[in-house]
Each structure stands twice: as structure tokens, then as C-alpha cells.
Amino acid sequence: MAENLVQDGRRTRGDATRRVVLSSATDLASVEGLDGLTIGRLAGTSGRSKSSIATLFGSKEALQLATVAAAREIFIDRVITPARDEPRGLSRLVALLRGAMTYSRDRVFAGGCFFAATAADVDSKPGMVSDAVRAASTDWYGYIEAQVGFAVDADELTIDNAGAEVLAFHLIALYEESNSRSLLMNDDRPYALAAAAMTERLIAAGAPSDLVITLDR
């Protein structure tokens, strides 16, 4: 029993260290990109030794993959899960857009949206890390497209399938531009502009004329 308690204690400490390291890793990668995420660089920002980080992850690629997975879990927790309280279709779509802009504005990651920051870092490179970032982004795009589709099927929007695909593209582009411009200008106003533009696009697509997208406080 004593041996089990020792092993449990080590596992608990290891899990705690992993959480601290990945918290620093997601922040660092959102600012400096995944290529800048090395065991040595992370040791300096997390306050943990190189040896402890190397023991946890083993290689730079494993560290990068764990960081992408951790960022994905945070995005789901902050944006996707709350939106699921809304019915599928227009209500959930609006909740997703509002949640994504709030997550970016509140700097859940120091560099804004983690996946917008890291996509440019890996988009033209092959490998497991690029695949992981691409998979997370594809799931997000697909989820937005699905909610637009549900809204069309429920007659909440009055556009055809081709129009639905274009609308989803525009909404995602507006979100990504608000994230990028806010970071560049150090200003929250791009989120208000994006929210207004999203509202206009949705109303033009058949949403109720009194629809308003606002960010959470």
C-alpha cells in the first residue's frame, strides 16, 4: 500500500507539473508560434527545469502535439460547450460567434486565438503537428457550417446550400480578422465591428431583423 501511495503522489505531482507547463506552452505558442516552442524556451517561461519537461514530453514534437491538444480542450471549454446550451441552428450559431470573439478579446491565450496564431506557422508544413492544427481548425469550420445548415433546414435562414457555405466562410473570416486586427492595433473595437458585420450578413440571409450579436461582458 505504501508503494501505491508513493506512486499516486508522484503521478499527482506529475499531472500538476504537466498542467503548469502546458498552460505556459499554450500562451507561448500563441505569441511565438509552435516552431518557437522548445523544451529550453519553455523551461524559462514555466519555471520548470528542462529535465522535468523532457521527462514529461520526451521530444519537441510530443510537446507541440500536447500543446495543441491542450489549446483545443480550452477552446472547447470556453466556446463550444457553452454554446451547446442553445438549440442547434441560428441560436447556437450566434452563441458560437459571440463566444469565439469573447475568448479572443479576453486573451484566454496571450496571443489571442491560439489556432489563428499557429495556423500560419504550420500551414505549409507536413507532419503530425500541422495535421493536429489543421484538424482542430477543420472541426471548428465544420461546426460553424453545420449550424448554418441547421438554420437553413429550420427556415431560420432563407439561403440555398451554396449561399450557406459562403455565409459560413464570411462569418469565420470576420472572426479571424477581428482577432488579428485587435492584436495588431491593441484595440477591442474590431470585435464590435465584426459583430455588426456578422449581424448584417445573417439578417441579409434571412435571420430576424431584430437580431443583434453582442459580446459577453
Cβ neighbours of residue 205 closer than 8 Å, sequence gap 6 or more = 157, 158, 159, 163, 167
- Residue 211 resides in a domain: no
- Residue 144 resides in a domain: yes
- Residue 198 resides in a domain: yes
- Residue 98 resides in a domain: yes
- Residue 172 resides in a domain: yes
Domain that holds residue 110: 2-204
The backbone torsions φ and ψ at residue 165, rounded to the nearest 5 degrees and listed phi first, read -65, -40
C-alpha cell at 87: 438549440
- Number of independent structural domains in the chain: 1
Q: 124: domain CATH number?
A: 1.10.357.10
* pLDDT value for 68: 96
* pLDDT value for 40: 83
* pLDDT value for 6: 41
* pLDDT value for 8: 45
Residue by residue, pLDDT tens for the chain (217 residues) are 545 434 444 455 556 777 888 998 999 999 988 888 888 888 877 777 788 888 888 888 998 999 999 999 999 999 999 999 999 999 999 999 999 999 999 999 999 999 999 988 777 778 999 999 999 999 999 999 999 999 999 999 999 999 999 999 999 999 999 999 999 999 999 999 999 999 999 999 999 999 999 987 7
- Residue 85 resides in a domain: yes
* pLDDT value for 41: 82
- Residue 53 resides in a domain: yes
* pLDDT value for 11: 53
- Residue 214 resides in a domain: no
* pLDDT value for 5: 37
